[in-house]
Amino acid sequence: MTEHEHEATKGVTRGDAGDVVAGRVTIKQGGARAVRAQEVSIRQGGAGRVDADKLSITQGGVVLARAREARVVGGGAAAVVAGEAELEASAATVVLSGDEAELEQSAAGLVVARSAEVTDSVVGVMIAGRVQARNVRVLADWRHALAFGAAAGTVLWLLSRFSARD
């Protein structure tokens, strides 16, 4: 057992850790390369990758978060993949939810969910079966994304045809 695994079994990891594997992990004002646990709590810290049943991030960040339940408050993530994802005053590039995604005063580049509840937020592209939205700005829905993809494909095809003639 490494030093960081030993510390993680006590419940708190401070400073920088490499890979942490435990039942329950709390990171306060520190970071880890990868965390795998049943329950992970990150407060004013960060991690490269987190795999957990339940994930809570407060004023922290993670590159890739995979969890059954993920909650991010005042933080950020490159990608959140969860059964249920909740962002409050946070930002994420991609939010993929198998069930429900909730965003409140947050921003996301892409949201894909079975059901989405979005309040006072900005979303680049949203794909959801059911959407409840209040004071939301969606930059592109699936129709805009489809039209953009078709236009971009046509332009790239035309450019390849012209360059092939030279």
Q: Kindly report, residue by residue over 89-109, the tens digit of the pLDDT.
A: 999 999 999 999 999 999 999
Provide the 3-class DSSP secondary structure of residue 15.
Answer: strand
Report pLDDT for 2.
Answer: 40
For the chain, the average pLDDT equals 85
Ranges assigned E (strand) in the chain: 12-21, 24-43, 46-58, 61-73, 76-88, 91-104, 107-140
- pTM of this prediction? 0.74
pLDDT in tens, 47-81: 999 999 999 999 999 999 999 999 999 999 999 99
The predicted structure's pLDDT at residue 1 = 35
CB atoms inside a 10 Å sphere around CB 120? 14
Alpha helices in the chain (DSSP H): 3-10, 142-165
> pLDDT tens for residues 19-47?
777 788 888 988 888 989 999 999 999 99
Residue ranges of domains in the chain: 3-141
Of 106 and 3, the structure prediction assigns the larger pLDDT to 106
pLDDT band for position 166 (50/70/90)? low
Burial 54-68 (b: 16+ CB within 10 A, else e): bbbbbbbbbbbbbbe
